[in-house]
Each structure stands twice: as C-alpha cells, then as structure tokens.
Amino acid sequence: MAGSLIKINEAIVTTATPSVTLTGIDSTYDVYMLQASGVIPVTDGVDGQLRVTKSGVVQSDSNYDWAYKGLRTAYGFSNLSSTNSSEWTYPICWSTRNTSAEAGTGGNGIIYLFNFNSSSEYSFFTSESTTLWSSGVIGVQGGGVHTVASASDGINFQVHSGNIEAGTFTLYGLKK
C-alpha cells in the first residue's frame, strides 16, 4: 500500500471550531479516503455528522441515508440507521470529552468515499471508527449514501451539538 495514498487536503483543529470542510475531490481518483484522528468534541457524548459539498457548498438537504453496527464493550451490539436525514450521523465523537482529553486520545475513523466524482451516480461511503468512552470502547462500522446523482467535491465534518475541540482530518486519493 506504500505510495498508494496521495494526500489531497488536511485540517488540524487545535482550537474549538464549528466544522471542518475538505475539498479537492475530482476525477483524478476513483476512491478517496478521509482519515479522522484524535477527534474530541467540546460537548460530551455527541455524534459527528458528515455532509457532502458540491462546488464547495455544504449540502444540507434531506437526502442522506446511513446505517451502522455499534460494538460497545459495556453495552454489547446496537444497530443505528436513518433515511432521508439532513446529514450522515458519524459516531466518532461519542467519546466522553473529559476521558478522551485526559487520555490524549479521541475518536478515530477511516471513511472511504465512492462515486464522489460522478455526475450520474450517488455519492456513498463505508467507514469504521473507534472511540474511548467512560465505560469502555465503542467501535462502529457502516456506511451511507447521498441520494442525489451529481458530483460531490468534498466532505464536511461537524458535531451535532457544540464545536470540535481537537482533531486531525486528512483527505487522500487512492492511487489507481
């Protein structure tokens, strides 16, 4: 895999910010990857949310469908899903803020982006993430689709409530 990830864009959050947008998706690569690491929300126990950008504009329509399988050390398994939502919920930020900040950790995830550069297909993603929680570790695996057949040029990340306190977000192209 050495040399197959080409860095496109990166944002490093060191002070509270409402959102991070990474653009640069075009027809150069068929598949893109977003790596999020050390993500800590200002507010405890909130989910992240993802939205696509089209021509650099964050899309907040009701065309986001998603589903996940949650793997929790303290609670067992759970199923999470939604259709016709205004965003993809992304459970990377479930961490209890104080636990993560004290441990110097935070949520971590890998998101693969497919068909983003296609003007005739839906943009979709698959992902896996882990988060430190006060009662253990949460792992989540799943994906989502934006049910609009038009090209997407980026991805926006924010949290449902409050700001992002810390984290590194890196967008890569996967070399053909």
The whole-number pLDDT of residue 123 equals: 96
pLDDT per residue, tens digit, the chain (176 aa), is 567 999 999 999 999 999 999 999 999 999 999 999 888 888 766 778 999 999 999 999 999 999 999 887 777 888 989 999 999 987 765 555 555 455 556 788 999 999 999 999 999 999 998 887 666 778 889 999 999 999 999 999 998 878 888 899 999 999 87
The whole-number pLDDT of residue 74 equals: 73
Cα of 32 vs its chain's centroid, Å:
12
The whole-number pLDDT of residue 73 equals: 78
Three-state secondary structure of the chain: CCCCEEEEEEEEECCCECEEEEECCCCCCCEEEEEEEEEEECCCCCCEEEEEEECCEECCCCCEEEEEEEEECCCEEEEEEEEEECCEEEHHHCCCHHHHHHHCCCEEEEEEEECCCCCCCCEEEEEEEEEEECCEEEEEEEEEEECCCCCCCEEEEEECCCCEEEEEEEEEEECC
Residue 40's nearest CA partner among 78, 97, 116 is: 97
Residues 6+ apart with CB under 8 A from 60: 51, 86, 87
The whole-number pLDDT of residue 99 equals: 52
Where do the domains of the chain lie? 5-174
The whole-number pLDDT of residue 77 equals: 86
Q: What is the CA radius of gyration of the chain?
A: 15
Give the C-alpha distances (Å, rounded to integers) separating 78 from 64, 121, 139, 142: 20, 30, 10, 12
The whole-number pLDDT of residue 51 equals: 96
The whole-number pLDDT of residue 11 equals: 97
- What class, spelled out in words, does domain 5-174 have in CATH? mainly beta
The whole-number pLDDT of residue 147 equals: 97
Residues 6+ apart with CB under 8 A from 23: 9, 53, 56, 153, 154
pTM of the model: 0.90
Could you give phi then psi for residue 47, rounded to 5 degrees?
A: -85, 155
Partner residues linked to 101 by β-bridges: none
